[in-house]
């Protein structure tokens, strides 16, 4: 059974270069919703830039270590000493596949290794970001995406993760959509947020439909 995701702050993807803001002022992605039924959606995201690093260990240890390393970069650990704003949510996926859908913080697994990533704020292009001081931190452009999503509140656990993932898969299949790779899990709120107010999501990248 896969582990549930770790949480922290960052952006999913900015649609057409624009971003929305939470009540706390943290940037979130602005996306186009192609279809919505209750807490289930099909979304379209535009390209973004991510800062990412590879960390070894179990999912929790790697997530925390990767988050700290990337946080140093956005808090001034770069060639200009520039501070880069945090965004939301945090997401995680297992490795062994293309990193299609990312978030301000994402995580993917390869054996005992994980790729942890922050999505950069929508104001930045790849050539405008400062170079990381730490050579283990890499900057990369991620292309546009079609994504299936399910939104829910509460606390993560393995049983709930599996149930929500299965629900999303069934819904996507009923709409003639094909999910690619492993699910992405995303959290939008810090750990001190009351469990009943937390916003969680599971997402799948979808194959592109041909016009016509």
Q: Are 202 and 184 in contact (CB under 8 A)?
A: yes
Please give the residue that has the higher pLDDT: either 112 or 10: 112
- Centre a 10 Å sphere on the Cβ of residue 95 and count the other Cβ atoms it contains: 16
Q: Indicate whether 6 belongs to any domain.
A: no
Q: What is the Cα 158 distance to its own chain's centre? A: 19
pLDDT band at 106 (very low <50, low <70, confident <90, very high): low
Asked which of 41-45, 101-105, 185-189 is least confident by mean pLDDT, the reply is 101-105
Is the distance from CB of 186 to CB of 200 less than 8 angstroms? yes
Q: What is the pLDDT of residue 37?
A: 95
C-alpha torsion sign, points 99, 116, 102, 95: positive
pLDDT at 105: 56
- Is the separation of the CB atoms in 94 and 107 below 8 Å? no
Instruction: Tell me what the mean pLDDT of segment 172-189 comes to.
Output: 85
Q: Tell me, yes or no, whether 112 lies in a domain.
A: yes
The answer as to whether 72 is a domain residue is yes
CATH number, domain with residue 163: 3.20.80.10
Write out the E strands in the chain.
19-21, 27-29, 32-37, 40-45, 48-56, 90-92, 106-110, 113-119, 138-142, 145-152, 179-187, 200-206
Number of domains in the chain: 1
Global pTM value: 0.69
By CB neighbour count within 10 A (0-12 exposed, 13-18 middle, 19+ buried), where does 189 fall?
Answer: buried
Mean pLDDT to the nearest integer, 133-153: 92
Q: Report pLDDT for 131.
A: 96
Question: Within a domain: residue 142?
Answer: yes
**Nearest one of 154, 150, 149, 151 to 193, comparing CA atoms:** 154
Question: Shortest CA distance to 156 belongs to which of 92, 113, 69?
Answer: 92
Q: Which domain holds residue 88?
A: 19-206
| pLDDT, average across residues 81-98 | 66
Residues in the chain: 212
Residue 211 included in any domain: no
**Tokens representing 154?**
């509460």
């Amino acid at each position: 059974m896969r582990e549930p995701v770790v949480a922290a702050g960052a952006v999913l993807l900015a649609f057409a270069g624009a971003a929305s803001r939470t009540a706390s002022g943290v940037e979130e992605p602005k996306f186009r919703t192609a279809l919505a039924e209750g807490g289930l959606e099909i979304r379209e995201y535009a390209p973004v830039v991510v800062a990412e690093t590879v960390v070894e260990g179990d999912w929790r240890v790697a997530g925390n270590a990767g988050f700290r390393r990337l946080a140093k970069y956005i808090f001034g650990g770069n060639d200009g000493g520039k501070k880069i704003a945090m965004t939301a949510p945090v997401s995680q996926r297992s490795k062994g596949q293309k990193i299609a859908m990312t978030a301000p913080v994402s995580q993917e697994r390869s054996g005992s290794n994980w790729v942890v990533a922050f999505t950069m704020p929508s104001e930045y292009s790849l050539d405008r970001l400062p170079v990381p001081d730490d050579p283990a931190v890499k900057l990369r452009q991620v292309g546009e995406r079609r994504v299936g999503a399910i939104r829910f509140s509460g606390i993560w656990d393995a049983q709930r993760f599996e149930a929500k993932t299965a629900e999303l898969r069934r819904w996507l299949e009923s709409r003639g959509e094909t999910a690619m790779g492993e699910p992405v899990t995303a959290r939008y709120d810090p750990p001190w947020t009351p469990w009943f107010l937390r916003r969680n999501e599971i997402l799948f990248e979808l194959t592109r439909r041909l016009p016509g």
